């Protein structure tokens, strides 16, 4: 995990702006504090902030091929570099390092754009092909590592984080209100749109080619589900194949020249990855967990059981209301987008714990729910699709009462309330977002707090259709569960879970997360598993539980799933809450930002304070956190933004200047 940044002159050559690149690199030094690198000529400037994990001594970047005609700056890991290298050497390529980075330049020489098809990894990279005067950039299949770009004054700028692009003061900094509208619909904006006007995000599984001054993007991978499934094949056969793939995925993701730890939440997914490390590798096992002051969110008893069962050296950090509130502004500085839950903040505290224990790399269980249908949203979809076939049925909606047994503060939910809520969109079962209608209905309530100007500005924007473009040709014929999984991976996984709750909060503490469930081989196989093997009755991730029955205790595989959540508004309405909360939500600051109606926000804040210590509705909690995080975003990047200072010249281990 590193940080990359730079620019390319689209048309006319120009002397390099070395100070700008030094600023861009320094702005993301948290991503790679171990060493900096830069390459310059009169067309291209490549910058790199390195977190050294593989080939500590020889893997400095930017890095080139034998004759210096192909250069790369790279963020991430190519896990199968060990297998790719001999193949490339047989074809005549000469390696000078033992790094995975060098595999990229030689694979590009050999395969061109198709090089990405050979990589098993999590990556974003930019290649400067000097002979052909061509830029090639790409992002991994599922969007684990970020890439942002813009075109301004004849230059193409790119970076791992937007704050790096803003180091050029000539680039305007304005919030994209349509991006905000989409975020308060889907929890994220739909690429290429971001929360800033004219700043683009490269979508997962996409590449960029720049040639003859023209910038072109394209897709090279997508999750594809079959139209029919093989129920003749027994579930045990699927479970065995899944087990073998996960063992190999974990093995690949332990490749590093530094120690690798593991997150252990107490749930099934992190227990799976940790157990596979214990049972199928020789790696020393150290695990890390977050516990909560608010016991409604705490899973420490399960964490301790798994740590004891596996014999790990276990570390914990306790997330209190105060620690969440204190860290929240820094989290929003890293996310560069609003959030509607505080959940990223405890993970930021957790990655800090990892760093304090001198680890740089951790395995996590992220992605299992999306690939193997673990969320309640997927069970809702199955029930609602079944219900939609007979909308007047009295017993079909009663299945909903079996859901959400662990949600804090909800108490017994009346059947009438459940029926009315989940009936939303029941008459539109063929809509592409049928599965997400209840969630969207709750999230969009935040927009009630928009100011009149914002409501007018987004009035013609169809945020619900944001992810409805470029769907696979057969999408309409897929099973309801397949549609839901595809949409969840395309929206929430890449845009929120792997970003605000993943890359950004780990990178903020110079930590690299690795995701065995997001090996593209696992994802492609999981798409072929029949829906009835993923959700058996209402038993989620059934095939995974069968696959891991021998490695995990029954109390882990059979426990009721507790979604990872954290205290939301309660974190900000305590007597000792930080002063910035009142400041950001004051009438003066809200008027200055102009995004929300001050009187409406004031009523919400009073309601949350009156209910301190209680658990409010999702609507109120998401509104409070969404408004506060947006105010902080505007504060950080619009009102009070200051570009990073240039990193000093002697901090760069690579300073290749070919501009003269």
Give catalytic residues, as residue numbers. Answer: 2
b vs e for 188-209, b when ≥16 Cβ sit within 10 Å of the residue's Cβ? bbbbebbbbeebbbbbbbbbbb
3-state class of 425 per DSSP? coil
DSSP state of 164: H
**DSSP for 299-352, written as a single string:** -HHHHHHHHHHHT-EEEEEEE-HHHHHHHHHHHHHHH-S--SSSTHHHHHHHHH
The answer to whether 438 touches 161, Cβ cutoff 8 Å, is no
Backbone φ and ψ for 623, nearest 5 degrees, come out as -65, -45
CA distances from 103 to 54, 221, 334 (A): 12, 20, 30
b vs e for 512-545, b when ≥16 Cβ sit within 10 Å of the residue's Cβ? bbbbbbbbbebbebbbebbbbbbbeeeebbbbbb
- d(CA 556, CA 176) in angstroms, rounded, equals 44
Neighbours of 620 (CB within 10 A): 18
- d(CA 408, CA 347) in angstroms, rounded, equals 20
The answer to whether 72 touches 66, Cβ cutoff 8 Å, is no
Which tokens go with 228? 């029919």
b vs e for 569-589, b when ≥16 Cβ sit within 10 Å of the residue's Cβ? bbbbbbeebbebbeebbbeeb
- d(CA 616, CA 433) in angstroms, rounded, equals 27
Instruction: Identify which of 49, 131, 123 has the alpha carbon closest to the alpha carbon of residue 84.
Output: 123
DSSP state of 614: S
Q: Which residues contact 141 (CB under 8 A, 6 or more apart)?
A: 204, 205, 221, 520, 523
- d(CA 511, CA 20) in angstroms, rounded, equals 26
Cα Rg, the chain, nearest whole Å: 24
């Amino acid at each position: 995990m590193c940080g990359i940044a730079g620019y390319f002159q689209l048309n006319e050559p120009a002397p390099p702006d070395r100070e700008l690149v030094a600023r861009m690199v320094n702005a993301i030094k948290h991503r790679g504090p171990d060493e900096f690198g830069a390459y310059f000529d009169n067309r291209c400037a490549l910058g790199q902030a390195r977190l050294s994990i593989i080939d500590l001594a020889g893997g400095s970047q930017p890095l080139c091929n034998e004759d210096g005609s192909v250069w790369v700056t790279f963020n991430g890991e190519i896990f199968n570099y060990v297998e790719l290298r001999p193949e490339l050497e047989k074809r005549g390529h000469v390696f000078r390092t033992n790094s995975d980075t060098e595999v990229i330049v030689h694979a590009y020489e050999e395969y061109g754009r198709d090089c990405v098809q050979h990589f098993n990894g999590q990556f974003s990279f930019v290649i400067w092909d000097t002979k052909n005067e061509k830029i090639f950039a790409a992002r991994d299949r599922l969007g684990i590592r970020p890439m942002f770009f813009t075109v301004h004054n004849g230059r193409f700028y790119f970076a791992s984080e937007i704050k790096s692009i803003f180091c050029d003061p000539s680039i305007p900094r304005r919030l994209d209100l349509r991006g905000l509208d989409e975020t308060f619909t889907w929890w994220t904006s739909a690429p290429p749109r971001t929360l800033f006007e004219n700043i683009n995000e490269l979508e997962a599984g996409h590449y960029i080619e720049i040639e003859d001054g023209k910038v072109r993007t394209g897709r090279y991978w997508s999750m594809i589900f079959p139209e029919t499934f093989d129920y003749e094949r027994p579930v045990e056969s699927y479970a065995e194949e899944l087990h073998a793939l996960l063992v190999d995925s974990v093995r690949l993701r332990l490749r590093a020249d530094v120690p690798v730890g593991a997150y252990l939440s107490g749930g099934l997914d992190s227990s799976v990855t940790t157990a596979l490390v214990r049972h199928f590798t020789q790696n020393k096992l150290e695990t890390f967990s977050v516990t909560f002051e608010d016991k409604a969110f705490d899973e420490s008893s399960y964490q301790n059981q798994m740590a004891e069962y596996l014999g790990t050296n276990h570390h914990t950090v306790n997330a209190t209301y105060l620690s969440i509130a204190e860290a929240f502004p820094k989290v929003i500085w890293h996310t560069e987008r609003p959030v509607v839950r505080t959940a990223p903040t405890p993970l930021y505290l957790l990655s800090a714990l990892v760093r304090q224990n001198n680890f740089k790399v951790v395995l996590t269980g992220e992605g299992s729910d999306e690939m193997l249908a673990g969320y309640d949203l997927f069970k809702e979809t199955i029930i609602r699709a079944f219900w939609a076939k007979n909308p007047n049925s009295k017993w079909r909606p009663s299945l909903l009462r079996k859901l959400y047994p662990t949600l804090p503060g909800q108490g017994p939910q009346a059947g009438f309330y459940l029926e009315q809520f989940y009936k939303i969109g029941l008459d539109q079962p063929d809509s592409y977002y049928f599965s997400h209608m209840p969630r969207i209905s709750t999230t969009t309530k935040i927009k009630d707090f928009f100011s009149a100007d914002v409501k007018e500005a987004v009035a013609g924007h169809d945020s619900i259709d944001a992810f409805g473009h470029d769907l696979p040709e057969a999408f309409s014929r897929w099973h309801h569960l397949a549609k839901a999984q595809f949409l969840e991976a395309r929206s929430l996984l890449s845009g929120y879970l792997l970003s605000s709750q993943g890359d950004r909060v780990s990178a903020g503490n110079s930590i690299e997360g690795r995701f065995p469930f997001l090996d593209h081989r696992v994802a492609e196989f999981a798409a072929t598993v029949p829906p009835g093997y993923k959700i058996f009755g209402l038993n989620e991730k059934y095939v995974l539980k069968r696959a891991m029955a021998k490695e995990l205790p029954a109390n882990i595989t059979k426990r009721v799933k507790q979604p990872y959540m954290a205290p939301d508004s309660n974190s900000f309405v305590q007597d000792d809450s930080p002063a910035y909360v009142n400041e950001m939500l004051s009438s003066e600051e809200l008027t200055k930002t102009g995004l929300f109606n001050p009187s409406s926000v004031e009523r919400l804040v009073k309601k949350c304070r009156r209910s301190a210590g209680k658990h409010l509705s999702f609507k109120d909690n998401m509104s409070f956190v969404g408004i506060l995080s947006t105010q902080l975003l505007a504060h950080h990047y619009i009102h009070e933004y200051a570009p990073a200072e240039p990193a000093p010249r002697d901090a760069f281990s690579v300073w290749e200047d070919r501009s003269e």
